[in-house]
């Protein structure tokens, strides 16, 4: 983008031309110059309130593409999520919640329900992956799953259970 000269800049420029013996440039264009230039410019179609600018059309098209791709990715991830049933068989507790990497360690995200046989159960949709998890008993005591196939130390001196969810392939 061109920038316009300030008056003091244009004065310096004209003075420099004079100092070198060059003819001073006129500050105004010759008569008819503007009309001649305007006639040579290509004609643009007149815009009506119903003629959207190209930029708006392109932006709308880009938004549709981004939205479509986003929906496709979310749909793909949801299709790839697997149903996982996790049970806790310990007794003597009023509430059990499942926390782990799959729910940001949020006890409210996976409260378990008590089954008629006294066990606790939660059914989750989890994307394929390897997740650390624990049970929260009565809202305060965390324990690893006693029936897990694999365990790993946590950063606080405790133990996390490992849940491996395959992608079904």
pLDDT tens, 2-39? 666 677 777 777 777 677 666 655 556 678 877 888 88
pLDDT of residue 115 exceeding 90, the answer is yes
Q: Which residue has the higher pLDDT, 10 or 91?
A: 91
Q: Is the pTM of this model over 0.85?
A: no
Asked which of 64-73, 120-129, 149-158 is least confident by mean pLDDT, the reply is 64-73
Identify which of 108, 114, 154, 111 has the alpha carbon closest to the alpha carbon of residue 131: 154
What domains can be seen in the chain, in order of their start residue?
Answer: 82-165 (2.60.40.10)
For 85, residues 6+ apart whose C-beta sits below 8 A from its C-beta are: 121, 122, 123, 124
What was the pLDDT predicted at 130? 94
Q: Work out the mean pLDDT of the chain and round it to a whole number.
A: 82
What was the pLDDT predicted at 44? 75
């Amino acid at each position: 983008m061109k920038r316009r000269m300030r008056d003091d800049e244009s004065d310096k420029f004209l003075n420099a031309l004079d100092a070198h013996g060059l003819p001073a440039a006129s500050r105004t264009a010759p008569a008819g110059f503007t009309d001649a230039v305007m006639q040579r410019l290509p004609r643009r179609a007149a815009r009506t309130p119903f003629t959207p600018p190209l930029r708006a059309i392109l932006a709308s098209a880009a938004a549709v593409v981004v939205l479509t791709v986003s929906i496709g990715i979310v749909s793909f991830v949801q299709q790839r999520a697997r149903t996982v049933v996790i049970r806790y068989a310990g007794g003597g507790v009023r509430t059990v919640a499942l926390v782990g990497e799959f729910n940001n360690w949020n006890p409210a995200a996976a409260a378990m329900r008590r089954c008629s046989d006294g066990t606790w159960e939660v059914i989750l949709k989890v994307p394929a992956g390897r997740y650390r998890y624990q049970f929260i008993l009565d809202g305060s005591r965390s324990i690893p799953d006693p029936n897990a196939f694999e365990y790993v130390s946590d950063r606080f001196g405790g133990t996390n259970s490992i849940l491996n969810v395959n992608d079904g392939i």
